Amino acid sequence: MDIFSGRITSSGFSSGDRIVIGDWKYSPFGSFTNIMWAKSDGVRVLLSPNKNLAEYVSSLYSFEEVKITPIEVNRGVKEISVKAGSLEVKMVWSLSFPIPLWRPKWFISTFENTIAKKFFNTSTFGITRDGRKEWYSIRGISKVVHGECKIDGIDLGQSVNFEIDACFGFSEPPKWPSSVTLKSYIG
């Protein structure tokens, strides 16, 4: 079982682009940050700091492009800024709604998955692209109150809800811009 512990922060932008930042404090690969970017034309891009991570993540989720690039990360108490090649992203979130206990995987895949679908239009359990099971054990969720993103210096507009799914895998981030603390179990 591979276990990742960290934060997923995501937002759509008025340009039609959708950005998902995976900021992992603990993982089988150590600490790392990667970016999943669904362009406005539907092309899905993985920005990864190294080849091993890129191969692992692209075995789980679907991308048309995979780019290896240095990723610079600045973390604040309630914000993250990331620079990866020509992409620059900053997201700021509000106070977190905490979920106090870790729940067993059977609970995540049944009851919690139903709640996530009904209230957040997302899933906490599913099957990865390579046929493995994955559980998202959420510990806290916050609304992103400010997001900005530039590609080659061009502003992608305001932070907005996801109007179109990013279609990386079985689960989408919540439709509204959000930052979620969690553990991901993959086995």
pLDDT in the model for residue 121: 84
pTM above 0.75, yes or no: yes
Identify the CA nearest to 38 among candidates 144, 179, 172.
172
Structural domain boundaries, residue 35 = 2-186
16 vs 169, residue with greater confidence: 16
Q: What local confidence, expressed as pLDDT, does residue 152 receive?
A: 94
| pLDDT at residue 161, as a whole number | 85
Distance CA 178, CA 11 (A): 7
- Band the pLDDT of 170: cuts 50, 70, 90: confident
Mean pLDDT, residues 85-89 taken together? 96
Is the predicted pLDDT of residue 102 greater than 90, yes or no? no
What percent of the chain clears pLDDT 90, i.e. is strictly above it?
82
pLDDT digits (tens, 9 = 90+) for 121-168: 889 999 999 999 999 999 999 999 999 999 999 999 999 988 777 788
Longest dimension (CA), the chain: 45
Contact 81, 73 (CB under 8 A): yes
Rounded mean pLDDT, 66-85: 97
Pull the structure tokens for residue 162.
């996801």
The pLDDT > 70 percentage for the chain reads 100
* Overall number of domains in the chain: 1
What mean pLDDT value characterizes the chain? 94
